[in-house]
Chain A
Amino acid sequence: MNERLFGIHGAALTLRSQRMGVIASNIANAATPGYKARDIDFNAALDARLARARGQAGAGPEAGMVWRRPTMPSLDGNTVELAREQVAFAENAVAYSATLSFVQGKVNSITRALKGE
């Protein structure tokens, strides 16, 4: 039902929100020794989620999770690079906004159709 109504955008919004949590975790752990930064490969994660929604035996919920490859290794084993995380966070926020406006547009047209305007 969800997929028929919102198409790809329902799953995309959930994923964007998840990715925001992952990147925020990286930012929070910028000073934790040995912490390995992670990210979500959006394409792979979305494919896996859509396959699961269609009932195909796809990959688990960890699908699309990737480790961030640091430009330069640091002495304490931490792979967070604050500038990169900031950029990724900003990019993700913009994409979230875009997906949200798609969902809003869908909801608006359905509401208008229901009201018969």
Chain B
Amino acid sequence: MPDRSPMTLFGLTTRAMSAQMVRMNAATSNLANAGSVSSTEEGAYRPIRAVFAVELDRASGIAGVATGGLVRADTAPTRRHDPSHPLADRDGYVFEAPVDETAEMVEIMESARQYQNLVQALQTAKQLMLETLRSQ
């Protein structure tokens, strides 16, 4: 980004909170698709994960965080024999999305904790900045 002013604490927290939001949304999408089935192995839902990357601002020495994108896990879908299922293939198999609900819940909880931490840090920093401004 060519015309960017030096990163402040506010910019840093905003970026980090957006990154945590992307991560939480990804985990929620996975949870929502848990148990969804498909008639082909390729068509089954694969869990997505947000990948974070450091974004160093040399002017201020602050290291922000950016979402480097979403990756799909390459775990194989679970093959289940269920001939009565309307989506079953010729051999009577359906392919279930390989979503680990517990892992996704933990992911959401961890993300929420880190989000809270950011808000707390921002509040403290803002308080100190206001104190500095108001001093005469």
Contacts and interface: CB of A to CB of B under 8 A. Distances in A.
A32 interface: yes
Interface stretch (B31-39, B52-60, B74-82): B52-60
The contact size tier of chain B is: 20 to 34
Contacts of B121: 23-24, 27, 89
Interface stretch (B12-20, B40-48, B90-98): B12-20
B13 A28 contact: yes
Interface of A is mostly: helix
B61 interface: yes
Interface stretch (A2-10, A51-59, A93-101): A93-101
Contacts of B64: 25, 28
A100 to B, nearest CB: 6
Nearest to A13: B132
A29 B52 contact: yes
Nearest to B134: A104
Contacts of A34: 54
B73 interface: no
B128 A24 contact: no
Q: Of residues A23, A89, A107, which shows the largest number of chain B Cβ atoms within 10 Å of its Cβ? A: A89
B124 interface: yes
Interface of B is mostly: helix
Given A29-B52, A31-B114, A97-B128, A24 B136 contact: no
Contact of B114 (A23, A30, A35, A97): A30
A29 B54 CA distance: 7
Interface in B82-136: 110-111, 113-114, 117-118, 120-122, 124-125, 128, 131-132, 135-136
Interface of A: 18, 20-25, 27-35, 38, 82, 86, 89-90, 93, 96-97, 100, 103-104, 107
Interface of B: 9, 12-13, 15-16, 19-20, 23, 51-54, 60-65, 110-111, 113-114, 117-118, 120-122, 124-125, 128, 131-132, 135-136
6 contacts: A21-B60, A29-B65, A31-B111, A32-B53, A33-B52, A97-B128
